[in-house]
Structure 1
Amino acid sequence: MGRTKSSPSSATASAALPRAAFPAIAVAAAPLRPRRARQPEPPAAGAGGEQRETILLPGCDYNHWLIVMEFPKDPAPTREQMIDTYLNTLATVLGSMEEAKKNMYAFSTTTYTGFQCTVDEETSEKFKGLPGVLWVLPDSYIDVKNKDYGGDKYINGEIIPCTYPTYQPKERRTSKYESRRYERRRDGPPANRKPRQQAPQTESASS
């Protein structure tokens, strides 16, 4: 049988959320996940021998997971409270806070609200139904070249904030000629130059 995928509701929701969002999931723009490289699956029963294909994007190995959570709006939790919630949620699944700190590798409290952790696919099912858990999704690279899953890095309790390049539009350089021409259009002709006078019209020979 093929690999069990996330529920339809999770897949639909993930397609609607930018990750870059997500760092993020960083949204990180681009769909939130799951993202998959082409890989044939065994033919389904009654499919007449035809093979279906699943798209696996780089980094999507079903050992790295994104747990998207929701928080109350009023009062909104602080960043520290959100991080504590992430760790407590992961500790509930893994059995201890020590294991939670070892297995959480990234998180976000801004571009998305959730954390990323390393667990197997069977363990990932245990997140479903926990308080505040919105989606459980396979994680994949935001930056394929550097094999980066995005988010603020979390390494054994140490937080390393993520840095994303921002787009800075180039300033258009204005030449001296264009600048002077603009001033003349705005202020009129320079003071040291008199406006041209029209030449007197000559009388026609018939007059």
Structure 2
Amino acid sequence: MKTPYKKPAFQTSRSNRTSSRDASPAQEEEPAVCNTIRRNIGDDSAQIRTYELEISRRREQIRRLQDDIAMLELRRQQLRAAEADVPRLPGPDLPVQARGRLGALLRILKTLGQIHDAVFLADAINRAVAVRQAEQEIDRNINSAERDIERIRGELRQYQGLLDDRVDWMKRHFKAFKDNGCEGSAFNSYRFTPSSRTRRLLT
């Protein structure tokens, strides 16, 4: 029995082979580098998103610290207003001898039965001391917050520089996408919705 004749593959109908190519002419015409560009856009967009989030976090940290400083300054004003109501009596910065005389005065007043005057005097001194101590604590807290703000601003500048560098790379990807005639929009390869600032820089 004869084996039926079978045409070699290269002799099959050209119309069948060309029809499969013509089904997606864009894929055939688009350079292979376009897929690499799309991957680069996706990778860099993820890094841009990370930098934008870090910048946002640090701006929020600075805002909270500035609010803390404002509250501390308000507390200082309230303390000074309260101190204005305290009678002008010797404070804790007096020499030891003067403090001894003040203590002796308190003992005399108690001995004479003038307890009300002694309590008033002691209370006035205690309040003045408390105000001074509170102001010193406020100063320490404000100085600490200001140091934190300066440190965070340094980090913010670093992340802003990294972001700007990455956006410059993204501009090159977008230009390469256009120059190579890649299909669609370069933004379609972006993994996250770009911020309005980034979008302005890329369009």
TM-score scaled to structure 1, two decimals? 0.22
Higher radius of gyration, 1 or 2? 2
Greater share of residues in helix:
2
Structure with the higher fraction of residues in strand conformation: 1
Q: TM-score, normalised by structure 2?
A: 0.22
Q: Which has the higher contact order (CA 8 A, sep 6+)?
A: 2
